Amino acid sequence: MSEVGKLLILFGAVLLILGVLMLLMEKLPLGIGRLPGDIVIKKDNFVFYFPLVTSLLISIVLTLILNLIFGMKK
């Protein structure tokens, strides 16, 4: 049971760090969610936003982190 507790603490710490980084990235001109390649369509009363490049970047980073975490058990 202690392994589950350690894993939950690790995930909580990762979420905390990601939250702080997202708050800090909002102040940058090209922060998360405003990368080149993200799709934004603005019409009269309609805005469609699809963060394509942001999603790919987050997916790659999370894949690397999780491979490092779970690869260390071998």
Q: What's the confidence (pLDDT) of residue 40?
A: 87
Q: What's the confidence (pLDDT) of residue 42?
A: 92
Strands 39-42 and 47-50, how do they pair? antiparallel
Instruction: Tell me the C-alpha distance between 45 and 57, whole Å.
Output: 30
Q: What's the confidence (pLDDT) of residue 33?
A: 66
Q: What's the confidence (pLDDT) of residue 16?
A: 92
Q: What's the confidence (pLDDT) of residue 27?
A: 73
Q: What's the confidence (pLDDT) of residue 73?
A: 62
SS3 40: strand
In terms of phi and psi (left: phi > 0; alpha: psi -120 to 50; beta: otherwise), the region of 33 is: left
Q: What's the confidence (pLDDT) of residue 72?
A: 66
Q: What's the confidence (pLDDT) of residue 66?
A: 84
Q: Name residues of the chain where pLDDT drops below 50.
A: none
Q: Which long-range contacts (CB under 8 A, 24 or more apart) does 41-47 make?
A: none
